Structure 1
């Protein structure tokens, strides 16, 4: 028998989030142990954007294993056991109220099972939403991005423009090698035999960000993971995650999370967080 999850409730450690136009949007990290995750049913429709780690799902229609970047839509009533291999990964979720989902169903294709959205436009909208959640949290920008995601759901199965295979591999290379302190955009470009200008243009078109922004994002995500799970000194974490020094990590961390690594460590939260608790995380509409 599966546990029923309310709208906005997921396994994982919430990092920050916001409610915009009725949508519950949050960034989270995996719990650290696959065995913590049991079969459960979601009352709401929701998107999962996999940023790092290997995402595993038993939902009908979903890929069994999804490497980042991956975007999955689960309709209301989805029953599954979704988790990250080794309990390591970061992701963004978007929960959709039942009334909004009913309205959306009238605009296009009805979806009865999970869908992996591979269109470049869908991934770009999802990354735009994730960046906005971390930075300005403009309600109109976030709401617009969510509607773009639903447009991708209703158009699933139609001919679309997919990201180039080498761009996907370049994303994975950054995820895997971001801890290398001397890693630069030129290094990634050389690995895939393209000019740095071409790499930057392809990333902007596909993810809506530059390779350098993605490297910083990954380093900060990894630093946050270590801050939550290990009592390592901040200087050691900075070295482990590819920053020049502790002050460099602090500046990047504050730019992404709006707080210092020390303050973030003090404010760690529990593994499962329901939508009603979002105010404890200082989430909420700006």
Structure 2
């Protein structure tokens, strides 16, 4: 997709559950998730994105994607020069901003319908819809306050430092000086996961490292990673990685 000075170009892509290795794009693009879910790693941060997530990719920015079972359907938009200028004046595009809102899915579905219809009126319709998508992206991505971003950063640090302890959303919010509901919204907006989901993800990643790289008894690994016991760890580990910790060690 190569934007011209006057027009934007959109397309629909379907992805299987096969991971996508690190890659980059020569031109800037917006990607809207219409269906499915995947984990995006970009600029040193990883987050899960589902339907309604709209992501901006700066040109040449390396990123990788891990799709959930069932893959995903995405609408990609190569914005026109005027659209890029509009966004550049309003958002830090170099930071690869993300916005999530239900109305983005509905708008994306209308764009997909025009792409399928492809009649004499579709180019004009798509131009208007593309501008609407750009405006909504500017609105929702621009709503991320500095306080919310700082609170999410603080919450992530607290979670990482206390993986072996229960940490409720109320306690986490108190440590960050923010209302629990606001923290939960900001957390999902920033990372695509709730605080509890993020904590489980970190616990499992630490468990994977300990199982793979040490000979520590699995009961100790479970407690160190915040699981009730070895059985609890084994169930969660198998659900996440497809095999039990004991099986992984036998194969190592």
* TM-score normalised by L of structure 2: 0.49
Larger Rg, first or second structure (1 or 2): 2
* TM-score normalised by L of structure 1: 0.44
